[in-house]
Amino acid sequence: MDNELTDIAVVERVRAGDKQAFNLLVGRYQYRIQNLVARFIRDPAEQEDVAQEAFIKAYRAIGNFRGDSAFYTWLYRIAVNTAKNHLVSTGRKPPAQDVDLEETATIGTADGLTELNSPEAMLENDELVRTIRRAISELPDELRQAITLREFDGLSYEDIADVMSCPIGTVRSRIFRAREAIEQAMGVPLK
């Protein structure tokens, strides 16, 4: 299958009965969905099962995809709901914070990579991670969700507006306010 096919074109092929076309969408988004699910579920075997379940649900519901938003936005919603439902069904509560910042925080130094493993750098990294985690966890839900979708999931403002069911202007405002709060907590402007 041609890698240049748009998601919409692939969805249309699936709707037309080409069951193998869905494999292209799985290949495109499997890594992102697994990373998303990992923010909710720590056990790797469970992560794989829940990600697979999300794709199965998407396949079964592909007729409901209207194309109003990007395919990934639609798939994202299915994956988040599947992960949260899995936690609830196993007697666990979905986390208040969707992002594990330990996996995303990095230290950049002018002196190169040799200093990244120094005790001072590791302590500074741990402190930075705690500060950012605390700042994000203290954000109101709508700000936390907007900044997570933008900075960690890489969604466009339009896709975030679809996920959050609000105007793009509201998304921009929420992201701006979230960045301001994080900057204040860190004492350094984010770039």
Question: In this structure, what CATH number is given to the domain that contains residue 138?
Answer: 1.10.10.10
Look at the chain and report how many structural domains it folds into: 2
Is 94 among the domain residues?
no
Domain CATH for 82: 1.10.1740.10
Q: Per-10-residue mean pLDDT for the chain, 191 residues long?
A: 72 89 90 87 87 92 86 90 86 53 34 47 66 83 87 83 90 88 72 49
The answer to whether the CB of 62 falls within 8 A of the CB of 14 is: yes
Q: Which two tokens stand for residue 34?
A: 């697994």
Last residue of some domain: 89, 109, 133? 89
Give how far Cα 121 sits from Cα of 102, 116, 168, 180, Å. 14, 6, 39, 25
140 shares its domain with 70: no
pLDDT at position 125: 63
Whole-structure pTM value: 0.54
Structural domain range at position 147? 101-186
pLDDT at position 59: 92
107 shares its domain with 79: no
83 shares its domain with 142: no
pLDDT at position 122: 60
Give phi and psi for 110, each to the nearest 5: -70, -20
Local structure of 178: helix, strand or coil: helix
CA 93 to chain centre: 19
Residue-wise pLDDT for 137-152, tens only, equals 888 989 888 888 887 7
Q: Which two tokens stand for residue 39?
A: 């923010």
Is 96 among the domain residues?
no
pLDDT at position 19: 82
**Polymer length of the chain:** 191
Q: Which two tokens stand for residue 166?
A: 């609000």
% of the chain exceeding 70 in pLDDT: 77
The answer to whether the CB of 48 falls within 8 A of the CB of 77 is: no
